[in-house]
Amino acid sequence: MILFLDFDYTLLDTARFKQFLTEHDAFEESEKRRTLVQQTDMSIFLYPDAVDFLKRHGEADELILVTFGPVEYQKLKVEQSGIGKYFKSLEFTGDEPKDLFIKSSMEKLPAGERAYFLDDRTEPLEALAEIRPTLTSVRMCRETGAYSLVSGAEGCPRVANLAEFEALIAAEK
């Protein structure tokens, strides 16, 4: 089974991280922000359920991180969080929509290979709604998520945490 996982607001408590940047007057200024991230153990901003989930599924499943945003900045955040070791692949899409990478990846999978895509944003989930019946797109709606209250992706199951995501996967096996 393949699990495509988003980073911000799914594994990383980005709201708490942004508050940290603001407190250090580094939210807007990119060089100061980059230096602060380089000096910070980003694992302190991971949601409490993230590492245990990644440990369990990193051994049993194929984990692929798919994240949108400035590539070097996203790479630095992931590197400083220490979670890269749990993934088979780290995909930094830059300005390209995540769904394009996932569609391309799904085309390469053997027929019947089960895959899930977990993301907090509605746009990539909606863009993937029509592809391959073996991909289940799931919307992460964490309490601190920036997009939790945004409507959209109505046909996708919703989860509030990784335990609910695991339960959904288990129910479909």
Counting the structural domains of the chain, the total is 1
CA-based radius of gyration for the chain: 16
Range of weakest confidence among 25-29, 35-39, 43-47, 95-99: 25-29
Determine how many CB atoms are found less than 10 A away from the CB of residue 43.
13
The rounded distance, in Å, linking the Cα atoms of 146 and 137 is 18
The rounded distance, in Å, linking the Cα atoms of 28 and 152 is 29
Question: Which range marks the domain in which residue 9 is found?
Answer: 2-172
Domain of residue 84, CATH code = 3.40.50.1000
Angle between helices 71-81 and 30-38 (to 10 degrees): 20
pLDDT grade for 156, boundaries at 50, 70 and 90: confident
Q: For a pLDDT cut of 70, what percent of the chain falls above it?
A: 94
